[in-house]
């Protein structure tokens, strides 16, 4: 059972990570870059022998505190945890190597009521060893099994509207059947993405792709058409996860001029990311 004040002030340990060029390459590969061996622009992110660029979505895995909500003293039913929303704001170029420091804290907790779950808002500041702010990531976690603990019913973050017109650009990117197994090596080892029995207990027919891996695929699509693969062109993005992706499916990102976007799985025609907003230089 969740204790409101305890979870709101839960001491999430600071994480220091020694980032290497190999880490940057692995992250890019884990979200699907490099599948077209003839696209030299993608090689800038996956070939460590080049002047390596770092994907602007990588802050979500850097100095990651791990699946901390699964600790028994949080009171959270970890099997029923689902990633609801994610944002990234970039403040400085991301290094390909060197120490990075992540400080994560809970910023809000919303009780939607008995049987309706709860929302946990958290934020991570990512800095380099000298203290320079590199990025801030924000996350909304849907605690499906934890409503009715007596917490406040709001405030709930507003969503970004998506135009009702047809998108101006569409990018289809495939995922691989084993992609979740690669992606979890970035530090998100939730068994929901690897163990069929855990997935079944959570109500899924098989392990699902990490929401942040879906974000990486979508960020790749945005970087391709709005940033021409220039890593520094992206300033921010935010999105809402609306349905799971199963590894092996194709993610179609629909993009409007101005930075609004959503994504759907081609094979099932299901919207998996909605209310997206991206800012590019």
Angle formed at CA 245 by CA 24 and CA 265, multiple of 5 degrees: 105
d(C-alpha 240, C-alpha 87), whole Å: 9
Are 278 and 234 in contact by the 8 Å Cβ rule? The answer is: yes
146 catalytic, yes or no? no
- In whole angstroms, give the CA distance from residue 151 to residue 5: 9
* Residue closest to 31 by CA, chosen among 209, 267, 189: 209
Strand order across the beta sheet in which 270-280 lies: 15-19, 98-111, 118-128, 133-143, 81-90, 234-241, 270-280, 260-265, 250-255, 169-174
Round to whole Å and give the CA distance between 246 and 224: 23
From the list 23, 146, 188, 220, the catalytic residue is: 188
d(CA 121, CA 255): 26
Burial class (CB in 10 A: 0-12, 13-18, 19+), 55: buried
Instruction: Answer yes or no: 91 catalytic.
Output: no
In angstroms, the CA 118 to CA 244 distance is: 19
Tokens standing for 216? 């990486």
Q: Tell me the two tokens of residue 28.
A: 């890019």
Task: Considering the candidates 193, 195, 220, 269, report the single residue annotated as catalytic.
Answer: 193
The residues annotated with a catalytic role in the active site are 188, 193
């Amino acid at each position: 059972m969740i204790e409101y004040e305890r979870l709101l002030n839960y001491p999430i340990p600071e994480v220091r990570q020694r980032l290497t060029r190999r880490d940057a390459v692995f992250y890019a590969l884990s979200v699907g870059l490099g599948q077209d061996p003839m696209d030299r622009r993608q090689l800038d992110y996956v070939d460590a022998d080049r002047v390596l660029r770092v994907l602007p979505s990588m802050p979500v895995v850097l100095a990651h505190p791990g699946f901390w909500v699964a600790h028994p003293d949080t009171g959270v039913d970890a099997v029923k945890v689902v990633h609801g929303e994610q944002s990234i704001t970039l403040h400085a170029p991301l290094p390909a190597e060197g120490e990075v420091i992540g400080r994560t804290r809970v910023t809000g907790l919303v009780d939607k009521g008995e049987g309706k779950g709860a929302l946990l808002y958290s934020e991570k500041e990512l800095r380099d060893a000298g203290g320079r702010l590199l990025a801030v990531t924000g996350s909304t976690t849907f605690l499906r099994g934890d409503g009715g603990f007596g917490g406040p019913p709001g405030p709930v973050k507003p969503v970004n509207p998506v135009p009702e017109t047809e998108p101006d650009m569409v990018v289809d990117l495939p995922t691989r059947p084993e992609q979740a197994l690669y992606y979890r090596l970035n530090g998100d080892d939730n068994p929901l993405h690897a163990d069929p029995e855990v997935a079944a207990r959570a109500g899924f027919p098989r392990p699902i792709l990490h929401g942040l891996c879906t974000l990486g695929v979508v960020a790749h699509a945005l970087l391709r058409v709005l940033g021409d693969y220039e890593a520094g062109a992206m300033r921010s993005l935010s999105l809402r996860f609306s349905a799971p992706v199963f590894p092996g499916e194709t993610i179609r990102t629909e993009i409007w001029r101005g930075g609004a976007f959503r994504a759907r799985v081609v094979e099932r025609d299901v919207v998996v990311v909605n209310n997206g907003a991206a800012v590019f230089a």
